[in-house]
Amino acid sequence: MDSLGKKSREYVRSHYIKTALEAGYISALFPNSPNTPKQKYHLTDKGNRLRAILKQGELNGKIVIRDSG
């Protein structure tokens, strides 16, 4: 978490993970148990599309994000 510049697990959970879950970019392995130590997150199809867009933008030297739903 130091790489994100934040040290609090709760901050990361509430500002990054919760936002990505609500936007549909990731899904939880155990959606009914968010605090389980075995929790993992996976990219959804929407998350994979965003990842591809971001990767393409890096290759072209620019980043343009349009949320297509």
One digit per residue, the tens of pLDDT, for the chain of length 69 reads 556 565 688 888 888 999 999 999 999 999 999 889 999 999 999 999 999 988 887 766 666 666 655
55: part of which helix (H) or strand (E)? helix 45-60
24 DSSP 8-state letter:
T
CA distance 41 to 61: 29
Q: What is the pLDDT of residue 62?
A: 66
Q: What is the pLDDT of residue 22?
A: 94
Strand partners, 43: 26
29 DSSP 8-state letter:
S
How many Cβ atoms are within 10 Å of 50's Cβ, its own excluded? Answer: 20
Strand partners, 28: 41
